[in-house]
Chains A and B, each alone.
Chain A
Amino acid sequence: MSTAPASPDVANQVQTAVDAIMRRGLVGLEYISLEDPKVGSTPKDTVLTEGSMKLYHYRAQTDEVYRIPLLVVTSLVSKPYILDLTPGQSMMEFLVKQGYDVYLIDWGVPRKEDKNLRLDDYVLRRIPNCIARIQEDTGETQVNLLGYCVGGSLATMYLGTHADAPVANMACLTTPLNFKGMGLFSQWTDERYFDVDRIVDTLGNVPGEILLSAFDMLRPTGRLMSPIQVLDRIRDDKYVKSFMMVDRWAADQIPFPGEAFRQMVKELYWKNAMLEGTLELGGRRVDLESIRVPMVHAMAEHDHIVPYEAAKPLLDNVGSEDTEEVVLRGGHASLVAGGNAMYRLWPKLDQWLSVRST
């Protein structure tokens, strides 16, 4: 009796898979063992500091840049390095290489003393201060805004309270406006059972651990299934690296400034005040209708953090005539970082911004 020799194709496939697993094992160990992976490494300078906030200016990597500088307003909920993960997977690096003069607001990790920071402080003081610094630095009168998640909401609040804002265009990425559409978050912050005053009065800033648990609960099987998905694509080095970086970012949760949290829950979750047009910051009403700049809003099809219903009404409620809504495949983080973003969001953003940045 003779046995058929193994097909060379099968043998090669097995060999490739084993090699990849071995290499991944080593690279995986490298990622797991790193205390502080190198993130946010696109070269930049700090041009303004205010408390824990920093305004970064990314160093140009082209001889010529677009005339209008771009200010990126990041979220208060998470660290901003999701936008500058690692070389080759960084939205900031991409924008700089495309010739944009990029500035980014890093709100920093709130310290105990920051518990009194309100949305008013971010919208009426810090964003205007950053824009003034950029005007001074570049000699340009106008900037373009790019807001991610709650950063987009802050940028919208800024425009809604400053009719004379020196802003030429605004791009928003998965930005919530209708807080009644925030799914489980809306349920869990039910006014009858969620004592936000007691939380803030007792804890000051809302601890990152509480926020992380809330995010994890949105996708209860996530912690279990994610490693299984990684195993399934173990041969795809880029995917595994990207997954590990994003996963690390998601777990790197920062606290939320207490007073701003109280305001968000009471004004945005309970009253839906931004959408209703009743939100007031420092005595100024956030008037969405007064926003006239061209806007693009990119949303993710499978965003479980800011669902489509929460983000969709943004463009319907501003006064701008030149608007564009973009719905792309992916989730809240993969919209802006990783393989999907490289081929979907970034080129789209570049296409929209480039013609509006001269």
Chain B
Amino acid sequence: MSTNETSIPDFSEAYRQWASQSERQWNEFLNQMMSTEEFSQSLGRNMDVFLHFQKTMNEAMGSFFTAMNVPTRTDVLALGDRLLAIEDRLATIEAQLTTALANAPAASAKNSQAKPRRTRKPPETPSAN
């Protein structure tokens, strides 16, 4: 039986399948490799080297700044801590003020008008249970 239609392979679909399969296979392979004890050990070692470098740098910079009579990072962080405490207190005062204002008779009447009613019911559908 002959036909006038020529079947043309769907290259885009074939490519899609190939890409998806390749991705899965590579991920599986690499994940398997990274789940070994040796990999965890090497990751730990690399992290140690990085942290050692970081610590040495921090100490060297700290000594340098102290010698130069300039605040170190630790000094700046300590200041940051104090600022944070002030910020927290300000936020508490702000919250108390907001509450006090909201509870004032005029504001309270205004708010009760502006806020939507809390009476919404779910649409009539079969129960979710």
Contacts and interface: CB of A to CB of B under 8 A. Distances in A.
A351 B128 contact: yes
A203 interface: yes
A355 interface: yes
Given A67-B119, A221-B23, A193 B51 contact: no
B87 A228 contact: no
A202 B55 contact: yes
Contacts of B77: 112-113, 204
Interface stretch (A132-140, A153-161, A261-269): A132-140
Interface in B44-103: 44-45, 47-48, 51, 54-55, 58, 77, 80-81, 83-84, 87-88, 91, 94-95, 98-99
Contact of A358 (B23, B55, B84, B122): B122
The secondary structure that dominates the B interface is helix
B26 interface: yes
Nearest to B126: A351
A225 B23 contact: yes
A193 B87 contact: no
B80 A113 contact: yes
Given A193-B43, A194-B40, A203 B91 contact: no
A190 B31 CA distance: 16
Contact of A101 (B26, B39, B51, B118): B118
B44 A62 contact: no
B116 A62 contact: yes
B110 interface: no
A193 B34 contact: no
B40 A190 contact: yes
A187 B116 CA distance: 50
A67 B115 CA distance: 12
Interface residues of B, number: 48
A112 B91 contact: no
Contacts, number: 124
A14 interface: no
A199 B16 contact: no
Nearest to A48: B95
A220 B26 contact: yes
Contacts of A112: 77, 80
Contacts of B127: 355
A202 B23 CA distance: 37
Contacts of B26: 220-221
Interface in A301-358: 322, 351-352, 354-358
Contacts of A218: 31
A65 interface: yes
A273 to B, nearest CB: 21
Interface of B: 12, 16, 19, 23, 26-27, 30-31, 34-35, 37, 39-41, 43-45, 47-48, 51, 54-55, 58, 77, 80-81, 83-84, 87-88, 91, 94-95, 98-99, 115-123, 125, 127-129
Q: Which 8 A-B pairs have the closest CB atoms?
A: A193-B44, A354-B122, A64-B120, A220-B30, A113-B80, A49-B91, A67-B118, A99-B120
Given A66-B120, A203-B54, A225-B23, 20 more contacts: A49-B95, A60-B115, A62-B120, A63-B116, A64-B117, A67-B118, A112-B77, A184-B31, A192-B44, A202-B54, A204-B77, A220-B31, A221-B27, A225-B19, A232-B16, A322-B129, A354-B122, A354-B123, A354-B128, A358-B121
22 contacts: A62-B120, A64-B119, A64-B120, A66-B118, A112-B80, A113-B80, A136-B99, A184-B34, A187-B39, A190-B37, A192-B41, A192-B44, A195-B44, A195-B48, A199-B47, A217-B34, A218-B31, A219-B27, A221-B26, A322-B129, A351-B128, A355-B127
